[in-house]
Amino acid sequence: MLRLAAVLYILVASAVAGAAVIAVLTLDLRQGWHIAAAFGAGLVVSVPVTAVLARRIYNALQGPKPV
């Protein structure tokens, strides 16, 4: 599951961090530390998102549980 999470993190982190940077630029905050902080926050926020997605995908790939 760790490999799946690593691959998902690359995709999720780029999407979330990019959206955060675009949100900061939309608010007309153009200083370097604003952009860097938004990017870093996006990277941090994407860790739990990736964990949830990886767990759900991994469990779905395992098939139905026997009753």
pLDDT tens-digit map of 13-57: 999 999 999 999 999 999 999 999 999 999 999 999 999 999 999
pTM for this entry: 0.87
Q: What is the per-residue pLDDT for 61?
A: 94
For 12-59, the DSSP string reads HHHHHHHHHHHHHHHTT--SHHHHHHHHHHHHHHHHHHHHHHHHHHHH
Q: What is the per-residue pLDDT for 65?
A: 82
Note whether residue 55 is domain-resident.
yes
- Total domain count, the chain: 1
For CA atoms 40, 22, 20, 42, the dihedral sign is negative
If phi over 0 gives left and psi between -120 and 50 gives alpha, with beta otherwise, what is residue 54?
Answer: alpha
Note whether residue 67 is domain-resident.
no
For residue 48, what are the domain limits? 2-60
Note whether residue 53 is domain-resident.
yes
Q: What is the per-residue pLDDT for 67?
A: 78
Note whether residue 27 is domain-resident.
yes
Note whether residue 65 is domain-resident.
no
Three-state DSSP at 5 gives helix
Note whether residue 19 is domain-resident.
yes
